[in-house]
Structure 1
Amino acid sequence: MRFLFVGRFPEIGGSALATLPLIEALREAEHTVLLAHWVVPRRTDWFSQLDLCNLDLAQQGNLLSKIRCLTQLAIQCDIIIAVSELTPTYACQIAGWLTKKPVYAELQVHLDSWIKQNSSPLHHWLIRSLYPHLSGLRCVSKALLTYATKDLGIDKQKSFLVYNGFDLQQIQIQAQAALPQSMESWFTSTTVLCVGRLSQQKRFDLAILAFQQAQPKLPSDARLVIIGDGPLYTELQQLIAGLNLQNSVFLAGLQTNPFPFFANAALFLLSSDYEGFGRVLIEAMACGCPVIAHDCPVGPREVLEEGKSGLLVTDNQPTTLADAMILLLQNSSWRQQLIESGYLRCYDFEQTTLTQQHVQLLTQHSTH
């Protein structure tokens, strides 16, 4: 079969890491795969090495031109797979209708929460009007599968669950690398780590305020390190300066290998307002780093097995997050227990097994 994948990959981040193993597995099964980029990726050379750098779609100046381009690409393929939500998925659906090709999409995040913070309320109506007409929808968590069928009105027969997979062996090899020399001193004592795009969704402002409140009960040289880049970088810098935390809270920027940071941290904190899966939780646990996570919609509760594999916080407020940090850092036996249970849990998300499951489900759905 001939597959057309369509998505936004501005960075080599979660979306690309979830999609590329699937493309590789389809190619190994002797299927033909084309990847069309909705926007030009920052690292085109990385995709070029994999022969996955078709930029025709990205170079179209408006939505109508993109739909025309997609339609031409769809003619050459048997199945369209939209791996980015909302507008790229809508455009793929239109191209599918014009060419009579099945269209599959992915649900990686709680869409209503994302729309509320980032986009036009019109999308609340569009997803409920258009998504039910998809040929199939892959959800990355059970909670999202429930959301898709109950809230978005998608037929249960069209929805299926496949978790995001992780190359755990590679993560653990990379975790053994040295920290950047300029940042080694940040990890000489008790260090709390946050990782993610510096956006409103991740609520790193709450993490900073929580760390400030926890400081009196933490070692005097405890630190908070935040890895990532994004639109709130300057705002977070100003918050750190305003709280006089320049010597204990550090923005590390985007790191090509974040895993040594996980391996050297005392704990990982996720303070997001919402998630779809929370791949950083698996990465932390794979590196032996215990996790505290806001019990947000959706993902953390499922990944952390109702709190068995990590500490869930129901109230995403600085005081509650601070109390959780103090509690876990002062209880070494519980911390060790979470390290061990988290490490075992991450093996439920082993990449090879889940990718093969995805290929099997996708080809089964496509032939019906």
Structure 2
Amino acid sequence: MANILFVIGLYPNYGGTEKVTTVLANAFVDRGHKVSIASFEQPHLELKDEELNPSIQLVALSFPLRKKSNVSILENVLDSKKIDVIINQWCLPYYVTSLINKARKKHKCILISALHGVPDQNKRLLTILHHKNTTENPVKRFLYGQAHKAMVFVTGLNLKYVYKHSDQYVVLSKSFIQTFRALSKIKESAKIRAIANPVTIEAPQSFDCLNEKAKENSILYVGRMDHANKRVHRVVEAWEEIHRKHEDWKLVLVGDGPEKETLQSYVKINDIQRVVFEGFKKEAPIAFYQKASVLLLTSDLEGFGLVVIEGMIYGVVPIVYGSYSAIYDIIENGKSGFITPAPYQRTNTVQQLEKLITDKVLRQELSRAAYDRAQHFALDRIVNEWENMIQEVYEK
């Protein structure tokens, strides 16, 4: 059994990486490992008692990241807890890895760095590209283009540094490995392994446990409402095109964010019927997955898309914009859901929505297939992959 330390930016906190950390940490404890979690900021300590196994110790680091006291705190944890494995959940920027390596100089513990996003995409890069593509000023367009190139170059340097100074590097999809190699310009990739995120919510025991009568004629979006990443306006605009044709269906939006008020105003001004804004939910949105028939995700930026497998495990048929390659690991297009091609076009989303709304038999077939496909991301299976990797790396 291993002594494991997670290092993460903000924890406890709401968010995909934070939720995955909690689920993996609890699962490791259930299998006999001892776990600690170190974070630089602790915004929602109430989640510790609500979600985390009581045996897991939280360690408070602080900003600025690179100060000596953080090194000392980590050194004390490595000594007192006899840590065997460090899992770095915040491997960009590079100086988190640098900090960890300073602390483990005199220790034999291994360092596994996990990238919870797409190697060549992040919010900053997308924002620069958005400005470049929307400005009519040729000078600004040139400057944004140069800024984007510079940011891509810096991202590659960060990836290369962390890879070189870790014992193992984990990405969320096999399709990310080639992207990582191209961007970081590493010559070999022996230390890279793909391990997907697990289903992070309580799953039904079987598909038969899902009562077909519980399903409503509803299209569901779950997630943060922001323009740069999630592009939730696309969900609303797709529904706007068809809502008058399907008066027995509704759109349910679960989440909060800076775009929410804008979306509410748009719905009201354009008289879009049967749109329900449910707001942010502290608890997992299982009740919404149980009722929904279709899940709609139109993000420009996703690392993995936890809500997709969460919905699928409850038989919700996903329609997802294929802006990131990991979605092809999750959905078998046309068999367990639909992936619309890039670049984004509303007509593609509307076409797949119409298909599922009007064909109940198809919807039921894909619902079963979505449930079956989600089993590939069952927690036990993913934890097995982590344990096998840790053992292999540690033995080396």
What CA distance in whole angstroms lies between the structure 2 residues aligned with 1:10 and 1:230? 19
CA positional deviation for 1:294: 0.8
SS of 1:260 mapped into structure 2: helix
CA positional deviation for 1:337: 2.0
What CA distance in whole angstroms lies between the structure 2 residues aligned with 1:128 and 1:15? 18
Q: Which residue of 2 aligns with 1:116?
A: 125
Amino acid paired to 1:11: N
Q: 1:106-145 residue pairs with structure 2 within 5 A?
A: 106-114=114-122, 115-117=124-126, 121=151, 123-133=154-164, 134-145=166-177
SS of 2:58 mapped into structure 1: coil
2:199 matches 1:191: no
Q: Which residue of 2 aligns with 1:156?
A: 189
What CA distance in whole angstroms lies between the structure 1 residues aligned with 2:77 and 2:349? 48
CA positional deviation for 1:302: 1.7
SS of 1:34 mapped into structure 2: strand
Cα separation, partners in 2 of 1:85 and 1:193, compared to 1, 3 Å: farther
1:323 to 330, 346, 351: 351
Q: What whole-Å deviation, never above 9, does each CA across 1:110-152 have from its counterpart, x for those lacking one?
A: 1432141369937524423423212211122222233233433
What CA distance in whole angstroms lies between the structure 2 residues aligned with 1:75 and 1:147? 37
TM-score when normalising by structure 1? 0.84
Contact 1:292 1:310 in 2 (8 A): yes
Cα separation, partners in 2 of 1:125 and 1:153, compared to 1, 3 Å: closer
Runs (5+) with no aligned partner, structure 1: 179-186
Cα separation, partners in 2 of 1:51 and 1:295, compared to 1, 3 Å: same
Contact 1:141 1:276 in 2 (8 A): no
Cα separation, partners in 2 of 1:107 and 1:95, compared to 1, 3 Å: closer
SS of 2:253 mapped into structure 1: strand
2:256 matches 1:250: no
What CA distance in whole angstroms lies between the structure 2 residues aligned with 1:232 and 1:17? 23
Contact 1:139 1:159 in 2 (8 A): yes
Query: Percent identity over the alignment?
Result: 23
Q: What whole-Å deviation, never above 9, does each CA across 1:344-364 have from its counterpart, x for those lacking one?
A: 111112211220221121121
SS of 1:64 mapped into structure 2: coil
1:269 to 281, 296, 312: 296
CA positional deviation for 1:44: 3.9
Q: What whole-Å deviation, never above 9, does each CA across 1:85-123 have from its counterpart, x for those lacking one?
A: 413x63133321453254211122114321413699375
Amino acid paired to 1:79: V
1:238 to 265, 273, 286: 265
Q: What whole-Å deviation, never above 9, does each CA across 1:52-84 have from its counterpart, x for those lacking one?
A: 352421xx2322237434455445534321113
Q: Which residue of 2 aligns with 1:359?
A: 387
SS of 2:120 mapped into structure 1: helix
CA positional deviation for 1:5: 0.7
What CA distance in whole angstroms lies between the structure 2 residues aligned with 1:230 and 1:82? 27
Q: Which residue of 2 aligns with 1:183?
A: none
SS of 1:288 mapped into structure 2: coil
SS of 2:388 mapped into structure 1: helix
Contact 1:286 1:343 in 2 (8 A): yes
2:92 matches 1:86: yes
Amino acid paired to 2:118: H
What CA distance in whole angstroms lies between the structure 1 residues aligned with 2:243 and 2:51? 44
SS of 1:268 mapped into structure 2: strand
Amino acid paired to 1:348: H
Contact 1:22 1:358 in 2 (8 A): no
SS of 2:86 mapped into structure 1: strand
CA positional deviation for 1:48: 6.2
What CA distance in whole angstroms lies between the structure 1 residues aligned with 2:216 and 2:53? 41
SS of 2:7 mapped into structure 1: strand
Q: Which residue of 2 aligns with 1:52?
A: 56
Q: Which residue of 1 aligns with 2:367?
A: 339
What CA distance in whole angstroms lies between the structure 1 residues aligned with 2:40 and 2:127? 18
Cα separation, partners in 2 of 1:32 and 1:107, compared to 1, 3 Å: same
SS of 1:81 mapped into structure 2: strand
TM-score when normalising by structure 2? 0.79
CA RMSD of aligned residues (A): 3.1
Amino acid paired to 1:112: D
What CA distance in whole angstroms lies between the structure 2 residues aligned with 1:30 and 1:22? 13
Amino acid paired to 1:108: H
Q: Which residue of 2 aligns with 1:103?
A: 111
Q: Which range is displaced more, 224-233 or 91-100? A: 91-100
